[in-house]
Amino acid sequence: MSYATLLLAATCLASLVCADIHIRPGSLGGDGSQARPYATLGEGRDAARSILPETTGQVQLILHAGTHILSSTLELGPADSGRPGSPVVWRAAEGARPVISGGRPVGGWILSDPAKRIWTATVPQADVRQMWIDGVRVQRGRTYTALNWTKGPTGWSGTPLATWSRPTAVELVIRIEWKEMRAIVAGMDGTTALMPRNFWANIERHIGYEPRQVAWMENAPELLGPVHSWCFDPVDRRLSLVAAAGEDPNDREIIIPVLGRLLLASGVRHLELRDLTFSHSTSPLPDAGVAFCEVQAGTCLSGDLGNKDFGQTVPDWKLLESAIKFTQCEDLRLEGNTIRALGAGGLELGIGCKQVDVVGNRFEDISASGVVVGNQHSHHPTDADRVVDIDLSNNLFSNIANEYHGSVAILGFYVDGGRIRHNHIRATSYTGISWGWGWGGQDVPPSSCQNTLVEANLIEAACAVTTPCPPLRLSQWNAASFEHLIDGGAIYTLGAQPGSTIRRNYGVRSGWNQIYLDAGSNGFFVEENVLLDAWYSIAINTEAVNTLRRNWYRNPMSSGRSILDGNIQVPTGTPLPAAAQAVIDQAGLETIWRPRLLGSGTGVYFLSHPADATVTAGHRIAFQWDANLADGLQASWFLGNAQIEGASGRLCTLTPVAGDDAKTVYAVVSGTSLGTGSVTVGPTATRQALLRVLPAGTANPPAITAPIAGAVLRRPAGAESNRPIFRATGNYLTWSYRYSNDPEGQWRTYPISGLAAVVDLAVEPQAPLPRTTTMTMRVTDDAGVSASRTWAIDQPNTAPVALAAHFAPPTFIAYRGHPMQVAAAQGLRRFVTDDQGDPLTFRQSGTNPDLVVHADGSIVYTPPATSGPLATVTAGQYIANDGTADSVPNSIVITVMNGPGDLNRDGAVTAEDLQVILQHFGETVTVSTP
C-alpha cells in the first residue's frame, strides 16, 4: 500500500474503512488530502479507483469551490462503483458550490467596427453555438421579421445571402406544428440557399407536415444589431460581438462551451452526486453538424435514409445529446445539483438504468430537454436494457428548451415504474412532461412502459413561454418566430402504459393543452388534477379506454372513449372548491425543498410592460410582473413609497387619485429566486412603471395602436396581416375577438382578463378559416368603453392534406366477395384536412375496377373473390381537391377478412375473424371455438 493511499484513509478511524478524496481547481498537486488536494477530477477518480477494492466503507470525492474545467469528458465505469449501502459520493465541500465546466473563457477582444460597437476575437474551436456573458446566455444575431422565401427542389430561393460575407455559416430555423428544424446553408446558387442534401430529403418524409417557410435565420455579421448579439465565422474561427456603449468585452466573463459531454457513466453501481453544478456543454447539430430534422421532443431524422418512407425510418431516429449520461447504471442518486447553461440536453438516464433517484435538483437555461429517461428504440428490451424504477421528484425546471424549442422539460420513453412527483416546471416552449413513445405502434404485450405515476407537479405555461392559448396559435404555415409550439401540453403521453396514474397535478396557463393523452395512450387513471387556462384542459387523441375522474378544469375537455366520473368544470371568475385549492397548495416542490431551490431574499420584480401608464383619477388600473416568474408567492406592491393594500400576487390593481400622478409602481417579492437578469431592490429598479394620473372626469378611452416596431409575420397574407402585433393602452383592460365568418357573431373573451395598462399582444388567427375573412380584436376598460381593430386575413391557398387512410375494423372490414360501402360522412373526409375550410371533392387516382371513389368522399370496394383469407390490401389511391389545388395521392388500405362475418348471411364468424377485430380495439382476449 502506498503512502498516498494511507493518507486517503486518514480521515477514518480505521484505514480502508472509508476515504475522503479532496479536489481543488488550481491546486499545485498533492495526494488528495484536505491539505494537499488533487487539481483535477480525473486524478481524484483514479485515486478512488485504486482504493475501492480494498475499502469496505464509503469513499467520498469532495470538490472544493471554484470552476473545475474539463479537458475531456469525465468517464466513469464499473471500477468507480460503490457497494450496497456504501455508495461512492461525489459532493461539494461544506459551503462550496463547485462548478464542473466544459467551457472556455474568451479574451483578446479587439474593437473592429467602432461605429457599430462590434468587437472580434479568434478562438481555436471550429464550431461555436452558444455564449454566456457574466453567466447570462446571449442570443446569436438573427432575424425577427418574416422572410417570405420560396421553397424549391434544392433549397430556398429569393434570399439575400449571395451578397453576404459568409452565407455558408448562416443557420435557418423551420417550424411545423410541434417540430422545429435547423440547417446550415450548404451553398448558394444565385439567390437560392441550398440545403444539406440529406436534410432536404428527410424533411420531405414528414408527409402532411413538410415545411413551407423559414421562421428565422441566425449567425451572420449582417444580422448583428442588439447589444450582445453575436456570430461565429467557422472559416476564420472569429467571434463578433456587439458591445454596449462604453463596454469593453475584455472586462467581462465571456464563456463559450467546447465539450459535448461533461460526464459519461456506464456500468456504474451505487453512486451519488450531491450539490455540484454542471455547466457549459455544447453539441453540433446531430446530422453531420449541419442539420437537425426533428420528429418530436428532440428526436430527429439523420443521414442518408435512401428511399425509406417516414414509418420505415423509426430505427434511424437519433436524440440530441445530454451533458450528463448514464447507461447500464444501478442504484444512483442525484441530489441538490444545479444543471445549467448547457448547449444541448441536461441529464440522460439511458438504457439499462435501474433504481435511480433524481431529487431536489435545479435544471435551468438548457438548450434542449432537461431530463431524458430511456431510449426511443427499446420498446421490448432485454432484461439488461430495461429501464426500471426511476424517481424524479422535487426538481425545479426553468428556461428549458430555449434553443431546440421542440424539446421538453422531462422526457420518458419506455420506462417501467417511472415516478414524476412534486416537480416545478416553469415556462416551456413545448411540453412540460412527455412520457411514453411509439404512438401505439409498439404496444404488443408485455409493455415495457408501465406503472407510471405523474403526481403533484406544478407546471406553468407549457407550450407558451409568454404567449397564452389560441387564437394565438402557431400553425404549420406560420413563418414567424413565435413563442411556442403546439400539439403538446403540460403533461403529454403516448402508447399503452398499464397501471399508470396522473393525479393531483396543477397546470396553469398552457398555450395548448394541460393533459394530452395522444396516440395509443392506454391504461391511465387521470384524477384530481386542477387544470386552468388552456386550449383544452384535457385532450384525448386515442381510441383506447382511460378513466378521467374528479378533475377540476376550466377549458373544454375531450373524452374520446374514456370513462368519466365526477369531473367539475370551474368557469373563469368562479372560486375553486376547497379540495381543488388543496391540490394547488400541495403541487410543486414539497415544503422542505422550496427554500433550497426557490431561494429566499427580497427583490424588485420587473414589470411585464414598464412603459408609462395613464389613468383617469378614480378609475382602476392594473400592473403585472414578468410572466416567466413563479406564481403563488408573497409579493408587496408599492406606489411611490407607500404599500398598496390588498395587492399580494402577480397582478396588482389600484384606483389612483390625482395626488398619485408621476409616482412609480413596482413589486417587492420575498421567498423565491429573483428570476434571471439584473434585479435591483427598492424603487430605483431599472424597470418600473411611471403612473400618470389625469384629472377626474377626463376621458381616457382605451386604444389599439398601430403595429409596434419589430412586429413579425403571423400569416403570409396582405400588408395588415403581416404586422399583427398590437399595443393596447387604457385602464383595466380585457381582450376579446371574433371572426367575420363566425355564424353566431359572438365576441370570444380572451382567457386572461384584467391585464396591465399597457399590453402587447401577438395575434395569429386560428385555423380553419376561409381564405378571405377578417378578424377583429377588441379591448374594453372597466367603464365599458371599447376600442377595436379589424384586419384582413387574405392568405394564399394551401392545398388539402391527405393523411394515411387505414380503415380500421369493425366499421370498415371488407369481407371477401362482398361489396364494402362507406358513406361520405365516414369516408375520405375523415382522412383529409383543409385548415382553410374550403369545400373538398374527391376522385380516384389510377384505375382499379374493384374500387369506386365518389366526389363526396364515399367509396365502394369489392374485394376479389381470390383475396384473403386474411389480408391487408391497398385498394387504390385518392386525391382531394379544394377548388384550387390537389392533395398528393394517398392510399386506401383495407383489411380483408375471411368469410362474410354476417350471421344473416351464413352464420360463420371464425375465431380468426374475432381475434383480428378485438386486436384492433387494443384488447387482449382468448378466442375459442365450439
Which cell numbers in the block locate residue 823? Answer: 358513406
Taking 70 as the threshold, does the pLDDT of residue 671 lie above it?
Answer: no
Residue 824 CA to residue 821 CA, distance in Å, equals 10
Which cell numbers in the block locate residue 835? Answer: 385548415
> What mean pLDDT do residues 561-584 have?
90
Residue 131 CA to residue 257 CA, distance in Å, equals 7
> What mean pLDDT do residues 509-531 have?
89
The full DSSP string for 699-731 is ----EE-SPPTT---SSS-STTTT--EEEEESS
Q: Which pLDDT does position 752 carry in this prediction? A: 39
Phi, psi of 94 (to 5 degrees): -55, 125
Taking 60 as the threshold, does the pLDDT of residue 912 lie above it?
Answer: no
Residue 390 CA to residue 332 CA, distance in Å, equals 10
Each residue's pLDDT tens digit, 316-352: 788 899 999 999 999 999 999 999 999 999 999 999 9
Conformational region of residue 824, where left means phi above 0, alpha means psi within -120 to 50, and beta covers everything else: alpha
495 near 517, Cβ under 8 Å? no
Residue 31 CA to residue 51 CA, distance in Å, equals 13
Of 688 and 260, the structure prediction assigns the larger pLDDT to 260
Residue 115 CA to residue 635 CA, distance in Å, equals 43
- Which position has the grid cell 439575400? 160
Taking 50 as the threshold, does the pLDDT of residue 685 lie above it?
Answer: no
524 near 517, Cβ under 8 Å? yes
Each residue's pLDDT tens digit, 377-436: 888 899 999 999 999 999 999 889 989 999 999 999 999 999 999 999 987 878 999 999
Of 757 and 22, the structure prediction assigns the larger pLDDT to 22
Neighbours of 887 (CB within 10 A): 22
DSSP 733: B
Cis peptide before 810 (omega within 30 of 0): yes
Of 565 and 676, the structure prediction assigns the larger pLDDT to 565
Residue 509 CA to residue 464 CA, distance in Å, equals 8
Q: Cα angle vertex 98, ends 92, 104, to 5°? A: 155
Stretch among 714-718, 750-754, 762-766 having the lowest mean pLDDT = 714-718
The pTM of the full predicted model, rounded to 2 decimals, is 0.68
Q: Which pLDDT does position 856 carry in this prediction? A: 87
Strand-strand pairing, 99-101 and 277-279: parallel
Looking at this protein, which amino acid is placed at residue 725?
I
Residue 396 β-bridge partners: 362, 424
Cα dihedral 750, 517, 466, 795 sign? negative
**Within the chain, what is the greatest distance between any pair of CA atoms?**
92
Q: How confident is the model at residue 83 (pLDDT cuts 50, 70, 90)?
A: very high
Residue 132 β-bridge partners: 137, 255
- Give the ranges where 115-235 is alpha helix by DSSP (H): 197-203
Phi, psi of 6 (to 5 degrees): -60, -40
CA of 481: how far to CAs of 334, 505, 635, 764, in Å? 36, 30, 33, 12
Q: From 164, 212, 172, 219, select the one nearest 191 (Cα to Cα).
A: 164
Provide the mean pLDDT of the chain: 78
Stretch among 4-18, 446-460, 531-545, 566-580 having the lowest mean pLDDT = 4-18
Residue 877 CA to residue 859 CA, distance in Å, equals 11
> What mean pLDDT do residues 122-142 have?
92
Residue 659 CA to residue 396 CA, distance in Å, equals 43
Residue 897 β-bridge partners: 815
Q: Which pLDDT does position 655 carry in this prediction? A: 85
Residue 522 β-bridge partners: 496
Q: From 786, 781, 726, select the one nearest 757 (Cα to Cα).
A: 781
Each residue's pLDDT tens digit, 608-627: 444 567 888 888 777 765 43
The DSSP H or E segment spanning 7 is: helix 3-8
Burial per residue of 573-597, b for 16 or more beta-carbon CB atoms within 10 angstroms, e otherwise? eeebeeebeebbeebbbeeebbeeb
812 near 820, Cβ under 8 Å? yes
Which cell numbers in the block locate residue 298? Answer: 428532440
> What mean pLDDT do residues 519-542 have?
90
Cis peptide before 446 (omega within 30 of 0): yes
464 near 509, Cβ under 8 Å? yes
Alpha carbon of residue 703 to chain centroid: 34
Taking 60 as the threshold, does the pLDDT of residue 672 lie above it?
Answer: no
Q: How confident is the model at residue 728 (pLDDT cuts 50, 70, 90)?
A: low
Q: Cα angle vertex 160, ends 159, 164, to 5°? A: 135
Q: How confident is the model at residue 594 (pLDDT cuts 50, 70, 90)?
A: confident
Each residue's pLDDT tens digit, 239-282: 999 998 999 999 999 999 999 999 999 999 999 999 999 999 99
25 near 66, Cβ under 8 Å? yes
Each residue's pLDDT tens digit, 446-491: 888 999 999 999 998 677 543 222 222 222 222 222 345 778 889 9
Residue 383 CA to residue 42 CA, distance in Å, equals 32
Stretch among 10-24, 54-68, 413-427 having the lowest mean pLDDT = 10-24
Q: Which pLDDT does position 704 carry in this prediction? A: 73
Stretch among 94-108, 400-414, 580-594, 710-724 having the lowest mean pLDDT = 710-724
Residue 52 CA to residue 568 CA, distance in Å, equals 58
> For the purposes of burial, counting CB atoms within 10 Å of the CB of 71, is it exposed (0-12), middle (13-18) or buried (19 or more)?
exposed
